[in-house]
Structure 1
Amino acid sequence: MTTFHSTRSTTDSLTSKEAIRKGIADDGGLFVTDSLGETKVDIANLAGRPYQDIAYDVLHALLPDFDEDELKACIAAAYGDQWSDERITPLKPVGDDYILELFNGPTSAFKDVALQILPRFMARTTPADGDENEKIMILTATSGDTGKAALAGFADAPGTAITVFYPQGKVSQVQELQMTTQTGSNVNVAAVEGNFDDAQSAVKRIFGDKELAERLAADSHVVLSSANSINVGRLVPQVVYYFSAYAQLLEQQVINVGDEVEFVVPTGNFGDILAGYYAKRLGLPVKHLVVASDKNNVLFDFLTSGTYNRQRPFFQTISPSMDILVSSNLERMLYYFTEGDTRLISMLMNDLKQWGAYEIPDDVLAKIRHLFGCGWADEDQVRAMIADCWTKNHYVIDPHTACAYYVAQQMPRDPLTPRVILATASPYKFPRVVNEALGLDATGTDFECMDVLARETGTAAPAALRALETADVRFDTVVPIDGMEGFVESAAKAL
């Protein structure tokens, strides 16, 4: 029986459905299972299979208390006509590498892979205390992409509501409009005076506020849960696309069954790359996982020194979804690399909270570095890589993918090991930055920039992004950090 408990203690013993509904453990830890990897996925049977079939094998191994019919229904609803490519995450050769496109979903970002299925998982969970009227309010802070993908997934989903906070002035115009124009009777959006880390820390505090939880339950029959990658139901669907990439490499006869592959992943909160580690535990032949950071290179410093220090300047960059100094999912990786030492994890996270930094033992760092590589790109390098990729390959990448593309170019190449770069967002989410990098006109609105980009590159803007220009803005609230709790309470009362 697969059970889940906190990274910081083993007192919980939850099913995957309970862990998904709850989102975050009572002690502030993230849910993990000690059975990770006990069930392997058969890689000999991957080539030529549709994404949905691969998803079933992977998710069945990770979330065994969803029965076959439930899981197949969730997968069919999540990976259907709302995707612009039937392969869901197509793999494309770009130069000597391969790019795994994760942005063909309804909001043009990789978060769709998980956030199209998470509401379907949630709908198949039941209230812990049998309250028939209980509603789950999804509460999430976003650095740009999670917010819209979660809103699109949960809008009007039965038994749920969603409240999203984003840092005011620190997301692109397109990202902001994607959130503030969201339709649905159960959605709420507010900008926050502060950066993403401020907002995410406040959300974690709200989750830990017992008195608030009691008031929400008594007054509104509402319990809070998360759609950030701190929720295990958000993390595990991302494991699927690593297997899908491998299946496509097999199909294209680039590799034989059992050959190793490297993945280069732009990441801020560490969920996207942690999914690659889960894939390795499930039997995927992953040689290296390379963390690509932007100028907020806290993960690079950690992976090279063993010290995690968030007491550093925060940079607002042209890759805003990675402008993060507290990478939540690192906690899960540390749990597995310390052989499940919950006392140590608890101490490290306490140090981070109290002092803004922690240091891991040398032997743990050595183990991590055996699998994880790292690199980072500054903004000039990001712009240069967008131009380089277009000039050499006639392929347009967004600024986040460009961080990974840069890091890949800096790495020594093993001709026998294919390298897959994860492309996390459509370039049309950041049309101004992309146009500037390509030397195109970037003087008009973001929508004029989209039209220029489409005309000059022969590509097409995703229809949902282009239509934002005329969509009605529904949400214009700005709250201070200490006003977030009150906003949540008001949203719950309005349900």
Structure 2
Amino acid sequence: MGLLNAAQVAWRAVRCYQSPKSWLSTKTSLLGGNNIFLMGPPGAGKTTVGRMVAHRLGLPAVDVDDDVLEATWKMPVAAKLAAVGGERFLAEEGQVLCNFSASGCVVSLTGSNPLHASAMEHVKENGLVIYLDVDGEDIIQRLARMKVNRIVGQEAGLSMRDILRYRKQFYEKWLDMRVLCGAGDTVEEVAEKVLKAVERYQNHASERYVSTRSNCTASSNHETHFSDVVVEGLAPDRGLYVPQKGFPRLDAREWQRLASMSYPERALVLLEKCIHPVDVPASDLRKMVFKAYGENFSSEAVAPVKHLIGSQYVQELFHGPTASFKDLALQLMPQLFSHCLPPMCNYLILVATSGDTGSAVLSGFSGLGGSDARRTGVLVFFPEEGVSEIQKLQMTSYREANARAVSVRSDFDFCQRAIKRMFGASGLTGHLAVEYGTVLSTANSINWARLLPQVVYHCSAYLDLLREGVVSFGEPVDVSIPSGNFGNAMSALYAKQMGIPIRKVICASNHNRILADVITTGECDLRGRRLMASLSPAIDILKSSNLERFIFHVSDGDGHLVADLFTRLDTHQHFQVPERLHRRIQQDVLAGWCSEDDCLATIRSVHKQTGYILDTHTAVAKAVADRLHDGSCPLVVCSTAHYGKFAPAVFKALQLGEAPDDPLTQLRKLGSAASGPGTHRRMTECLTERGGGTHSVCVADYSAMVDEVERTIQDSFLKVM
């Protein structure tokens, strides 16, 4: 909003008069006849970047301040603002933009244009809106150099930082694509990012997903995108979906920008980079993310990192409504699922759980409203004797017609095998589609929309350490994760692919140590192996689904190899990875296991030293890390559940005597013994208000489980006549 002399104003007024209706380009841009609109606060460099981008593309550059407003008003913008005041200025500025017409141009908006809804609706109809998300300190320094100390809408008493924070919500409301700028990025670097954003937007087809059992280099007439894989869950060849091009990589300055942001802000930026706006528009994604990570989490930090002992830190992933790390994905995944649902079908979400997934799925999907809730049912299968009492109470407290949990007199692997068989049974899926208009899908970590949000918290853990000065960007950390299905560990490897310097992922198992064996020996052998119940039931798994994604990842997308290995596992209960691949596996991952006694001893030791109480799964991760981590870099231990979910085992570990029968009394007694973390409020409320009760128990028979599926559909949806 610089001042212009009278000659400049007059010349621009003449130019506007000669072309009163529109700016027209005779060239075809990347977006056809549509415009590229650059949006951001004053000082973001919109005008300079706009000219550079226009030059690179051979298109006209239009600056709304200089070329539109001043030409229309026949006076400098600053003079107009002084004459009419801020509120009227915004209204008149917006009206001018509503009447503005251009085609095939690069248009630099004013910093205040996004505050006028009608004007921005007009803009969105005429092109692509790119938000220059520039570091706030860079903005303030530029404005100081320009001798700008107030901007439109800034009231007395508000600092420049305050007004910039306030405006951010409007920029995020209207953007199509975000250009995240690192501190100190040059205008040339920003212009290059804009060009890449435009190219990405118009090339939706390139963001394909492939099955882990397909050759990702092969061409296909069928393009599968994010919105498809969210709804489908499992690929038609029974493989798992992965992005063909892998994950986008952020540079150091971009990561450093994210370090100062809140968890929802970090999640939004990272997910925008992973989900094409054609699948989920950025404005919709923002609403979902801020709903997912809001007041439903008992910690404002969502997934805080706290110092534990020495160079060890614990990331608390249990502050969501069901006190499990699964909430970090399952408060968001149902919203993504409902957004991507095609019309005219009902969907039944089938879930097999070894403990925490069940209640997290039921909680997440219960948050849907309106037609989304009416079209979506949830059926959870869990092992009757394979979960803790509190986990069982959490799941069975949901009694809505279209959301229920059924226990099975078997183990998790049986439940998971049965569900995979249902997805592959064309006779069954066809019957459900024809008879009830219902399609099956899943919310287990085989579903990409379940796994993707988990990448965020691994990134966030490093960013917390960066913000607190524990590391400088680029310095490595190790991560120890209690794992049964390998989804949590796989998401850490994807965070590494995005640029987080994770040196080693430590995969920690209990005495059901299949993953530890695969990683240390290269052999997966289920022959004659029985699942043994443990104190850490969420990782009581023998057949790990996400092991497929891992082998696909380390084999550079060799779908033929993955298909061969997992077909052998299905038919012969065994496979051995090639030696070269085994060496590659051990470059990324270390693995070990601990006994039940080791688990309890770790809980007792940590509490004695610090007063902090670990749950049984976090204790497994720490016990294994204590053996494998060399101490040369910080270690983040993923705390995947609140200790209250496994209270009897914790009572035993802390030698507090026999645990009371009442779960609420268990929670209160443990809470009084802990310096941290505190009693989980939402878990306590759930047990107080909803309680448990009787629930359906199914025999370990595939046909009986199919009957439960059909019964749930009948209860959930109107039968198609």
Question: Does the alignment reach a TM-score above 0.5?
Answer: yes
1:384-405 per-residue CA deviation (whole Å, 9 max, x = no partner) reads: 0000110112111000000011
SS of the aligned residue for 2:458 comes to helix
Amino acid at match of 1:31: Y
Contact 1:115 1:150 (C-alpha < 8 Å) held by counterparts: yes
Instruction: Write the distance in 2 (CA, Å) between the matches of 1:475 and 1:22.
Output: 32
Greater RCO between the two (CA within 8 Å, min separation 6)? 1
Equivalent residue in structure 2 for 1:150, among 351, 357, 361: 361
Quote the offset at 1:346 in angstroms.
0.8
Counterpart of 1:67 in structure 2 is 281
Determine if the alignment matches structure 1 residue 428 to structure 2 residue 644: yes
Report whether the alignment pairs 1:100 with 2:315.
yes
Partner of 1:375: 592
Greater CA drift, 191-200 or 304-313: 304-313
2:239 pairs, out of 29, 44, 62, with 29
Structure 2: distance between partners of 1:124 and 1:349: 32
Which residue matches 1:277? 493
The answer to whether residue 331 in structure 2 is matched with residue 116 in structure 1 is yes
Tell me which residue corresponds to 2:708: 487
Deviation (angstroms), 1:343: 1.2
Q: How big is the shift at 1:46?
A: 2.3
CA distance in 2, matches of 1:379, 1:463: 28
**Counterpart among 449, 455, 469 of residue 666 in structure 2:** 449
For 1:28, the aligned partner's letter is R
Q: Which of 499, 502, 525 matches 1:309?
A: 525
On the 8 A contact 1:155/1:162 being kept in 2, the answer is no
- How far apart, CA to CA, are the structure 1 residues paired with 2:275 and 2:399? 31
CA offsets 1:46-104 (integer angstroms, 9 cap, x no match): 22211111111221222223221121111011000000111110000001110000000
Counterparts of 1:270 and 1:52 in 2: how far apart (Å)? Answer: 25
- Offset of 1:412 from its aligned partner? 4.3
Partner amino acid for 2:208?
Answer: T
Which of 438, 455, 463 aligns to 1:222? It is: 438
What's the offset of the Cα at 1:183?
4.3
Per the alignment, residue 474 of structure 2 pairs with 258
Between the aligned partners of 1:26 and 1:7, the Cα distance in structure 2 is 11
The residue matched to 2:344 in structure 1 has which SS? coil
Q: What is the correspondence of 1:121-270 to structure 2 with a 5 Å cutoff? A: 121-127=336-342, 132-155=343-366, 157=368, 158=372, 159-270=375-486
Contact 1:293 1:376 in 2 (8 A): yes
Q: Is the 1:110–1:425 Cα contact (8 Å) retained in structure 2?
A: yes
SS in 1 for 2:340: coil
Match of 2:621 in 1: 404
Cα deviations across residues 17-67 of structure 1 (Å, max 9, x unaligned)? 110111001111100112113443632322221111111122122222322
Which segments of structure 1 move beyond 6 Å, counting only runs of 4 or more? none
Q: Report if the CA contact (8 A) 2:248-2:274 is conserved.
A: no
Structure 1 equivalent of residue 255 of structure 2: 43
Matches of 2:507 and 2:248, distance apart in 1: 26
| Counterpart contact for 1:156–1:185, Cα < 8 Å | no
| RMSD, aligned CA | 1.5
Contact 1:182 1:474 (8 Å CA) reproduced = no
Q: CA deviation at 1:155?
A: 1.8
Residue matched to 1:464? 682
CA distance in 2, matches of 1:19, 1:314: 31
Larger displacement relative to structure 2 (172-181 or 302-311): 302-311
3-state SS of paired residue (1:430) = helix
- Alpha-carbon separation, structure 1, partners of 2:574 and 2:625: 29
**What residue identity is the alignment partner of 2:384?**
Q
Residue 386 of structure 1: aligned partner: 603
> Which residue does the alignment assign to 1:330?
547
Decide which structure has the larger Cα Rg and report it: 2
Q: Deviations over 1:339-371 (max 9, x none)?
A: 211111111111000011111111111011011
User: Structure 1, residues 289-329: CA drift from partner, whole Å, max 9, x if none?
Assistant: 00010110111111111011122232100000010000100
1:5 aligned partner, one-letter code: V
Find the aligned partners of 1:60 and 1:457 in 2 and give their Cα distance.
Answer: 39
1:9: how far off?
1.8
CA contact (8 A) 1:156 1:184 kept: no
| Superposition deviation, residue 463 in structure 1 | 2.9
Decide whether the 8 Å contact of 2:402 with 2:715 is kept in 1: no
Match of 1:85 in 2: 299
Q: Secondary structure at the match of 1:292?
A: strand
Separation in structure 1 between the aligned mates of residue 607 and residue 403 of structure 2, nearest angstrom: 38
Contact 2:298 2:681 (8 Å CA) reproduced: no
Does the aligned pair in 2 maintain the 1:37–1:283 contact within 8 Å?
no
Q: For 2:680 and 2:248, how far apart are their aligned partners in 1?
A: 40
Shift of 1:433: 0.6
TM-score (norm 1): 0.96
Which residue number in structure 1 is paired with residue 612 of structure 2? 395
Q: Secondary structure at the match of 1:350?
A: helix
Q: Distance in 2 between matches of 1:254 and 1:216?
A: 54
SS state of the match for residue 425, structure 1?
A: coil
Uncovered stretches (5+) of structure 1, i.e. residues with no partner: none
Q: Which secondary structure state, in structure 2, belongs to the residue aligned with residue 109 of structure 1?
A: coil
Amino acid corresponding to residue 655 of structure 2 in structure 1: G
Q: Give the drift of 1:126.
A: 3.1
| Distance in 1 of aligned mates of 2:644 and 2:367 | 27
Which string of whole-angstrom CA distances, capped at 9 and with x for unpartnered residues, describes residues 94-122 of structure 1?
01110000000000000000000001101
Q: Tell me, yes or no, if the aligned pair for 1:4 and 1:33 is still in contact at 8 Å.
A: yes
Query: Aligned to 1:291, what secondary structure does the other structure show?
Result: strand
Change (3 A) 1:442 1:133: farther
The aligned amino acid for 1:141 is: A
Q: Cα deviation per residue 1:421-453 (whole Å; 9 max; x = unaligned)?
A: 000000000111111100113342133322221
